[in-house]
Chains A and B, each alone.
Chain A
Amino acid sequence: MQFIVNQDLPFGFAFSSYGVSIEIRTNGLELLTEIENLLPPASCILSREKPIDFLFEVIWDDERERISEFYRNSEQQTCDGDYSQSLHLIEIALRLTVAEFSPHLVFVHAGAVAFEDSAVIVPGRSRAGKTTLTAALVRDGAVYYSDEYAIFDEFGFLHPFPKPLSVREPWAFGKQIDQSVETFGGRQGAKPIKARAIVVTEYEKDARWQPERLSRGEGVLELLANTVSARTNPRLALKILPRAVENALILKGKRGDAEAVSKEIKKVLTKNAIFA
């Protein structure tokens, strides 16, 4: 797609991530460097001549030393007065754009880990306790894939979305703080693998994990409820998600302590070594 670039925004670069190409334009050279550090995982810089899918225009106000406006394909986006908050908004918008418009992959908001090439997917919205359970699984020896997006390809294989875990810390007033997977004694997974368990759960104080088993079709609905492109590209989601659950056990139920549930999940995987 060709865009009319604002001539007042002389600095910029284009990149591609998971099949989505984005050009960034701005009038602040230092700001451009900051934005370069916010690119989604698996980004690679593109040559300027290539057509792009999205144009992000970020206007720097030199006098007030802040980002004043921010556009995606000429559509104005929400922008906060605070500099770091504005950068955070741009980072989120970049990730969301990639997750929603990736042409061949489906992004499910979920935690994802693996035990011996068998993936465990924990879909859920923010504050459902996804990262806490993901971190507990990593402490229990799982290989880390993501605490934000489980990415599935056309054959239903899980791919990593390599980013630090965003943990809510009490000392940070409940805000999310990025911590590397190594902090939890784990390592980042890279190999595409199949899901063996989909764990649909939400934290509830004192709850005992007694999950019910769902059918694979119901499992697809649970994943779809957390799929970024569910409305944008339902055909792709309905093609890929059944393949993502075809070898998986789907469990749903409230959970209490993450450490205890992590051990239960490991046990379930061992017991159900072979699924039909």
Chain B
Amino acid sequence: MQNLQKPVARHEGLVVQEMPDEVLVYDLNTNKAHCLNKSAAAVWKNCDGSNSISDIAAILKNEFKTPVSDDFVWLAIDQLGKDELLEQKITAPANGLTRREAMRRVALASLVALPVVASLTAPTAAQAASVCQNTGAACSCTQANNSGFTASCSSLGGAVTGCTGACDCSVPGGTPANTAAGQCVQA
């Protein structure tokens, strides 16, 4: 059955950087960065509002010189939609399969790498530099018995906003019996 939904790739608020076999996308609205592998990138590039799912499958078949099913394209569309890389999220027609089953079916039938979008939330400056920003930050030690331990955020500085740095857990006035890292959290 022909699928007539025509996805549109989002471009506004994105920084896009092409690499030889991948595409990097930074979302300025969410501060999320994505890495689209070759298959996911090929689908995304062809989401121009004029191609249907079946059209994209045919374009990919021609590009990769191997059969590509509509299910394969749907797998990519599903991920791109979840990552807000499409103008509108579109849903695959219900075929009674779970996502895992659909992936398995596509993987077995495909000679092309499955479409994958790896993502992460970009850190704030202080997070990247491991600077705990809040002197009043609470710090809880992770060892089983916390009694006798003092806990303090080990790296402090910067403006007072979020804080997720590490903290020192040591016995006051003695050799630390256990310096397992705790977690500084915003007070």
A residues apposed to B, CB below 8 Å: 72, 75, 77-80, 85, 88-93, 95-96, 99-100, 108-109, 125-127, 170-171, 173-175, 215-218, 220-221, 224-232, 234-235, 237-239, 242
Nearest to A240 among chain B residues (CB) is B17
Docked-complex contact B129 and A216, CB < 8 angstroms: no
Q: Whole-angstrom distance from the CB of B17 to the nearest CB of chain A?
A: 4
15 more A-B residue pairs beyond the given contacts A77-B159, A92-B158, A216-B20, with a C-beta to C-beta distance below 8 A: A78-B134, A78-B158, A79-B135, A92-B129, A92-B131, A92-B157, A93-B157, A96-B126, A96-B129, A99-B125, A174-B170, A217-B24, A224-B33, A231-B124, A242-B17
Query: How far does the alpha carbon of A72 sit from the alpha carbon of B168 in the complex, in Å?
Result: 27
Q: Are B129 and A109 in contact (CB under 8 A)?
A: yes
Tell me the complex Cα distance, A171–B118, Å: 42
Chain B, 5-33, contact with A by CB distance < 8 Å: what is the 0/1 string? Answer: 00000000001010111111010100101
Cα–Cα, bound, A69→B178 (Å): 35
Interface residues in B141-187 (C-beta closer than 8 Å to A): 154-160, 165-166, 168, 170, 175-176, 179, 181
Q: Which residues of B contact A170 (CB under 8 A)?
A: 175-176, 179
A226 contacts which chain B residues (CB < 8 A)?
123, 128
Residues of B within 8 A of A220 (CB): 19, 24, 35
Given A92-B157, A92-B158, A224 contacting B130 (CB threshold 8 A)? no
Give Cα A89 to B133, complex, Å.
10
Chain A residues positioned under 8 Å from B131 (CB to CB): 92, 96
**B-side interface residues toward A, CB under 8 Å?**
15, 17, 19-24, 26, 28, 31, 33, 35-37, 118-120, 122-131, 133-135, 154-160, 165-166, 168, 170, 175-176, 179, 181
Across the interface, name the chain B residue whose C-beta is closest to A220: B24
Smallest distance from the beta carbon of B158 to chain A beta carbons, Å? 6
Q: How far is the CB of B32 from chain A (nearest CB, A)?
A: 10
Knowing A77-B158, A228-B125, A239-B17 are in contact, say whether A218-B134 is a contact too (CB < 8 A). no
Which residues of chain B are within 8 angstroms of A80 by Cβ–Cβ distance?
Answer: 135, 156
Structural contact, A175 and B154, CB atoms closer than 8 A: yes
Inter-chain contacts of A72 with B (CB < 8 A): 159
Residue contact A92 to B155, C-beta cutoff 8 Å: yes
Contact of A221 with B35 at beta-carbon distance under 8 Å, contacts A92-B156, A216-B19 already known:
yes
Q: Per a CB cutoff under 8 Å, which of B24, B160, B179 touches A242?
A: B24
A218 to B21, CA, bound (A): 11
Chain A residues within an 8 Å CB radius of B166 = 125-127
**What is the CA–CA distance of A235 and B134 in the complex, to the nearest angstrom?**
29
Contact (Cβ within 8 A) B123 A225: yes
Most chain B CB atoms below 10 A, which of A80, A90, A126: A126
Cβ of A234 and Cβ of B176 under 8 Å apart?
Answer: no
Nearest residue (CB) in A for B26 is A234
B122 touches A174 (CB 8 A): no
Q: Which residues of A contact B122 (CB under 8 A)?
A: 224-225, 227, 230-231, 234
- Kindly list the 3 A-B residue pairs having the minimum CB-CB distance in the complex, ordered from nearest: A217-B22, A126-B130, A92-B157
Cβ-defined contact, B158 with A238, below 8 A:
no
Q: Is the Cβ of A174 less than 8 Å from the Cβ of B17?
A: no
Residue in contact with B125 in the complex, picked from A88, A215, A217, A232, CB distance below 8 Å: A232
Task: Name the A residues within 8 Å of B155 (CB-CB).
Answer: 92, 126
Chain A residues with Cβ below 8 Å from B17 are: 238-239, 242
Q: Determine if A100 and B15 form an interchain contact, defined as CB atoms under 8 angstroms apart.
A: no
